[in-house]
Homo-oligomer: A and B are copies of this chain.
């Protein structure tokens, strides 16, 4: 129950363990064709969606270095570890960063984006880089509103880390006109880590013609050229593509709305059960990520709490990162997660709190009742 690698269905593991085939074979071309089509479905877009062998960070870096040039001015939204990382990437490549931040656990304020973008009459801002669902804090940023301000600016591209939102909640790439959307296989995709995905708008391709940042492995034009032939410029992780094909078929079978509703009810069950257990949510309750619930442990050491849950129940929860280490733990409910998994983790947390003498049996029962209400199994 960590926010990635997420659980992988047996069917997908079986696909993964097939003998690899030649990446220049007709059979593999068919796989590239079908996964590309299904990736466009998942992204709700007609844009190119490219598959890269690498982590989500590689995909975000690719989005940045393919569309921008040294000295370009960009806005970076920063309210967690991943927001921080994109600031680092932007600076490493010589971009001029205007930071819009907010305290970890709180969402970015869309009005700040609006103001800076509106004031930029010279259209010097070339991109707005931000994280949709902050895996480190369990906060979801209001991408719909922020992206509307980016669209109004007209020049700036949106470069969005949707690593823990895509495949968990609505990210309608064409409707919101998102230029670059990056995501990773070990999240909503229900497959092991190793692949990342990047959707690219026509506007972003046009910007790429002017980009002067050096790149080779992450030069997306090579991927676009190869994709015309349903191929790859370099040897891709063939077996992970087998797994991707299977997982995307499962997602199509479930349907986008059902996937989003499932994640939403799990978020509500988790967060409300946590409150019934007298624990506090780390993230602003109006901006809870559908994928991760971050929980404050206050006077308890979160690392010790995680260890008890691991030792007693063999359930791995994520810890806090950087300054949050020991202060929060995080429950991932992203990808191949069902109601039973949610009830199980709530029960394990309740049981541990009972064992530590932190709650009453009445409170433990209340948590289960509240969760069940949201899961609609009553």
Q: Which residues of A contact B (CB under 8 A)?
A: 2, 4-5, 7-8, 13-14, 16-25, 53-58, 61, 65, 88-89, 92-94, 184, 186, 192-194, 213-219, 234-240, 316, 318
Nearest CB of chain B from residue A311's CB, rounded to whole Å = 12
CB atoms of A217 and B218 under 8 A apart: yes
Asked if B54 contacts A193 (CB within 8 A), the reply is no
A219-B218 Cα distance, complex, nearest whole Å: 13
Known: A57-B217, A58-B217, A193-B238. A20 touches B8 (CB 8 A): yes
Contact A239 B55 (CB under 8 A): no
Can you list 20 A-B pairs with a CB-CB distance of less than 8 A?
A5-B20, A5-B235, A13-B18, A16-B239, A22-B318, A53-B54, A53-B55, A53-B193, A53-B237, A54-B58, A56-B235, A57-B216, A61-B216, A61-B217, A92-B214, A92-B216, A92-B219, A192-B237, A194-B237, A194-B239
* CA gap between A186 and B25 in the complex, in Å: 15
Given contacts A56-B235, A92-B216, A240-B237, contact A192 B20 (CB under 8 A): yes
User: With a CB–CB cut-off of 8 A, which chain B residues contact A56?
Assistant: 234-235
Which B residues lie within 8 Å of A184 (CB)?
235
Query: Which residues of chain B are near A4, meaning CB under 8 Å?
Result: 235
Q: A5-B235, A238-B5 are in contact. Are A17 and B17 (CB under 8 A)?
A: yes
Q: Once the chains are docked, how many angstroms separate the CA of A227 from the CA of B92?
A: 22
Measured between beta carbons, the chain B residues less than 8 angstroms from A13 are 17-19
Check A193 against B316 for contact (C-beta < 8 Å). no
B53 touches A216 (CB 8 A): no
Residues of B within 8 A of A88 (CB): 216
Given contacts A17-B17, A54-B53, contact A240 B194 (CB under 8 A): yes
